[in-house]
C-alpha cells in the first residue's frame, strides 16, 4: 500500500533513529478506499523534541498535544507522539495530554474506527477496532463507548456528520443515538472548530447527509442561527462545484451572514456568500448588469451554477459582446459633461441615467447618442 513517498521517508527516518512510526487517520482510510489522501498524519513513539531533532525542517504546530509538522521533499506531514487523553471536565479540552509508548493506546483515543487504522510497510496494518470492515460496510462507528466518547469531546458528533457527508457512510445506530442524547454539549465547543467540520461537510461528495444535523438535533446547538439553514434545499448541493460560498448561499439564502458570522467564517467568505444569495433568481440582462456593478464579474460567473439556463445565456452574451456595464465603459465622462457646462450633483444623475439606457440598449453607447439623451434628464 503506497500512501505517500515523502511520508514514507519520514517513517523510515524515525524508525532508523530507534522509534516506531505509522501512517494513521485520514490518509490510511482514504488509500484503503482507493482515494487520494489529503493531509498526511503520522503517529510515532518519538517525543516532539525527538522529532524536532531528527528532522531539519519542522514547525511546532500543535506542540501542546504533541504534534510537530515536518517538511520532507516539500511535503508537509503532521507527526504526533503516541498519546492518550486524561479526563475531560469541560467536554472539549482533555485535562492533560499524556504520552504513551504503545500504538494501541494511541489508536484507542481516536474518534472513529475508520480513523483508527495505522499502517507501516514493515509492520503492516494495525486495526484493533474493525476499521477495515467498517470501511467496507460504509459505517461511521465510535472507537469505544459512543456516549462516553461524545461527552469527552462534543466536536466528535459534528465530525461524525462530516465523515458521513464526505465519505457517504451511515452513522452506526448506537453512535447515532448517542449523538441525539449528547447534542446539547456541542454548545461548549469553539465556533472555529465547528466551522472547520461544517465547511468540510458542506463541501463533501454526499452533502445530503447534512440532514443528520437536523435529525440528531445538533443544528440547534451548533449556532444560535442554525435555523437559517433550509434543509429542503440540501439536495441541490451535490450538483454544485465545491466552492463554499456557493453552497452556503444555496442552503441559507437570506440569513447566511448571521450564521456564518457566528461560526467566525472570514469576511471574504461571508461577503461572497451574501453577494451570491443576492443574485439568486435573476435572469434579465438589466438585472445581470446591475448585479455586476454591485457584486463584480467573478460572482456573476459563479451564479451560472445556481441560476437558470437563461441567466447563463444572457451573461455569456453580455461578456462576449462586451456590453457596457460600468460607468467607465460609457463613451462620455465627467469632463465631457463639464465642458458642456454640467457640474455638481447633476453630473451623477445624468451618468446614472445614461448608464441605465445603455444597459438596456448597448448600441446607444456612442458619444453622439449619449449627448442627445442628456436632455431627457429632468432638472
Ligand atoms: P481529513 O481527510 O479531513 O484530514 P482526518 O480523518 O485525517 O480527515 P483530521 O481532522 O485530519 O481528520 O484528524 C486526523 C486524525 O486524528 C483522525 O483521523 C482521528 O484519528 C484523530 N482525531 C482528530 N480529531 C479527533 C477528535 N476530536 N477526537 C479523537 N480523535 C480525533
Ligand atoms: Mg487529516
Kindly report the average pLDDT of the chain as a whole number: 94
What confidence score (pLDDT) does residue 88 get? 64
Q: Return the percent helix, strand and coil in the chain, to nearest 5.
A: 60, 10, 30
What confidence score (pLDDT) does residue 120 get? 96
pLDDT, one tens digit per residue, over 119-140 is 999 999 999 999 999 999 999 9
**pLDDT band at 4, cuts 50/70/90?**
very high
Q: Which ligand is nearest to the CA of 140?
A: 1
Q: In which order are the strands placed within the sheet that holds 118-120? A: 58-62, 67-72, 75-81, 40-44, 21-24, 118-120, 124-126
Which atom, in ligand 1's list, is nearest to the CA of 152? 28
**pLDDT band at 256, cuts 50/70/90?**
confident
Query: Is residue 52 predicted with pLDDT exceeding 90?
Result: yes
**pLDDT band at 315, cuts 50/70/90?**
very high
What confidence score (pLDDT) does residue 254 get? 77
Q: How far, in Å, CA of 218 to CA of 157, rounded?
A: 8
Residues with CB under 5 A from ligand 2 (ion): 26, 39
Looking up cell 503532521 gives 78
What confidence score (pLDDT) does residue 211 get? 97
Query: Is residue 94 predicted with pLDDT exceeding 70?
Result: no
Q: What percent of the chain has pLDDT over 90?
A: 89
Ligand 1 proximity of 39 Cβ (cutoff 6 Å): yes
How much distance in Å is there from the Cα of 311 to the middle of ligand 1?
Answer: 41
- Whole-angstrom CA distances from 265 to 92, 93, 155, 192, 259 are 21, 22, 17, 8, 9
What confidence score (pLDDT) does residue 255 get? 79
pLDDT, one tens digit per residue, over 271-285 is 999 999 999 999 999
What confidence score (pLDDT) does residue 241 get? 97
What confidence score (pLDDT) does residue 242 get? 97
Least confident of 11-15, 141-145, 183-187, 343-347: 343-347
Ligand 1 proximity of 115 Cβ (cutoff 6 Å): yes
What confidence score (pLDDT) does residue 85 get? 75
Q: What is the mean pLDDT of residues 63-77?
A: 94
What confidence score (pLDDT) does residue 225 get? 82
pLDDT, one tens digit per residue, over 284-307 is 999 999 999 999 999 999 999 999
What confidence score (pLDDT) does residue 227 get? 78
Which atom, in ligand 1's list, is nearest to the CA of 153? 27
Question: 189 exposed, middle or buried (CB, 10 Å; 0-12, 13-18, 19+)?
Answer: buried
Query: Is residue 89 predicted with pLDDT exceeding 70?
Result: no
Residues β-bridged to residue 139: 170
How big is the chain by its Cα radius of gyration, in Å? 28
**pLDDT band at 257, cuts 50/70/90?**
confident
Q: How far, in Å, CA of 325 to CA of 289, rounded?
A: 6
Q: Crossing angle of helices 285-302/345-360, nearest 10°?
A: 80
Query: Is residue 95 predicted with pLDDT exceeding 70?
Result: no
Q: Which ligand is nearest to the CA of 38?
A: 1
List Cβ neighbours of 207 (8 Å cut-off, separation of 6 or more). Answer: 165, 201, 234, 237, 238, 247
What confidence score (pLDDT) does residue 280 get? 95
Largest CA distance in the chain: 88
Q: What is the mean pLDDT of residues 145-159?
A: 97
What confidence score (pLDDT) does residue 87 get? 64
- Whole-angstrom CA distances from 3 to 8, 25, 42, 71 are 8, 12, 11, 16
Ligand 1 proximity of 146 Cβ (cutoff 6 Å): no
The CA angle 181-141-89, to the nearest 5 degrees, is 50
Q: What is the mean pLDDT of residues 79-108?
A: 84
Q: How far, in Å, CA of 31 to CA of 272, rounded?
A: 34
Please choose, from the candidates 252, 240, 249, the residue with its C-alpha nearest in 3D space to the C-alpha of residue 207. 240
Q: Which ligand is nearest to the CA of 28?
A: 1
Q: What is the mean pLDDT of residues 262-274?
A: 96
What confidence score (pLDDT) does residue 379 get? 66
**pLDDT band at 208, cuts 50/70/90?**
very high
Looking up cell 456593478 gives 293
What confidence score (pLDDT) does residue 226 get? 79
Residue of 36, 65, 85, 111 best suited for mutating to test ligand 1, as the one with most atoms within 8 Å of CB: 111
Query: What pTM does this model have?
Result: 0.92
Amino acid at each position: 500500500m503506497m500512501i505517500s513517498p515523502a511520508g514514507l521517508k519520514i517513517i523510515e527516518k524515525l524508525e532508523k533513529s530507534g522509534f516506531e512510526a505509522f501512517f494513521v487517520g485520514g490518509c490510511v482510510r482514504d488509500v484503503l478506499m482507493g482515494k487520494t489522501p489529503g493531509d498526511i498524519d503520522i503517529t510515532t513513539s518519538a517525543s516532539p523534541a525527538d522529532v524536532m531533532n531528527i528532522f531539519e525542517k519542522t514547525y511546532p504546530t500543535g506542540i501542546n498535544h504533541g504534534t510537530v509538522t515536518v517538511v520532507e521533499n516539500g511535503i508537509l506531514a503532521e507527526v504526533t507522539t503516541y498519546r492518550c487523553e486524561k479526563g475531560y471536565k469541560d467536554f472539549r479540552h482533555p485535562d492533560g495530554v499524556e504520552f504513551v509508548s504503545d500504538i494501541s493506546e494511541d489508536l484507542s483515543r481516536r474518534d472513529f474506527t475508520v480513523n483508527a487504522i495505522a499502517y507501516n510497510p514493515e509492520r503492516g496494518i494495525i486495526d484493533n477496532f474493525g476499521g477495515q470492515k467498517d470501511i467496507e460496510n460504509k459505517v461511521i462507528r465510535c472507537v469505544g463507548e459512543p456516549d462516553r466518547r461524545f461527552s469527552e469531546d462534543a466536536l466528535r458528533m459534528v465530525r461524525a456528520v462530516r465523515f458521513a457527508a464526505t465519505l457517504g457512510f451511515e452513522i452506526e445506530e448506537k453512535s447515532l443515538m448517542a449523538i441525539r442524547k449528547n447534542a446539547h454539549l456541542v454548545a461548549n465547543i469553539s465556533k472555529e472548530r465547528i466551522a472547520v467540520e461544517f465547511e468540510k461537510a458542506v463541501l463533501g461528495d454526499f452533502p445530503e447527509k447534512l440532514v443528520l444535523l437536523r435529525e440528531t438535533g445538533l443544528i440547534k446547538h451548533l449556532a444560535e442561527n442554525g435555523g437559517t439553514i433550509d434543509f429542503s434545499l440540501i439536495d441541490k448541493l451535490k450538483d454544485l462545484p465545491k466552492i463554499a460560498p456557493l453552497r452556503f448561499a444555496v442552503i441559507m439564502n437570506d440569513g447566511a451572514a448571521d450564521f456564518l458570522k457566528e461560526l467566525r467564517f472570514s469576511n471574504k467568505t461571508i461577503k461572497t456568500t451574501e453577494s451570491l444569495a443576492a443574485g439568486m433568481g435573476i435572469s434579465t440582462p438589466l438585472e445581470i448588469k446591475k448585479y455586476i456593478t454591485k457584486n463584480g464579474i467573478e460572482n456573476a460567473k459563479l451564479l451560472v451554477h445556481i441560476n437558470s439556463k437563461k441567466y447563463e445565456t444572457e451573461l455569456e452574451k453580455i461578456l462576449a459582446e462586451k456590453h457596457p456595464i460600468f460607468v467607465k465603459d460609457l463613451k462620455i465622462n465627467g469632463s465631457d459633461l463639464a465642458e458642456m457646462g454640467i457640474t455638481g450633483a447633476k453630473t451623477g444623475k445624468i451618468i446614472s441615467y445614461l448608464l441605465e439606457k445603455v444597459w438596456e440598449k448597448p448600441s446607444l453607447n456612442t458619444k453622439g447618442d449619449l449627448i442627445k439623451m442628456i436632455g431627457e434628464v429632468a432638472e
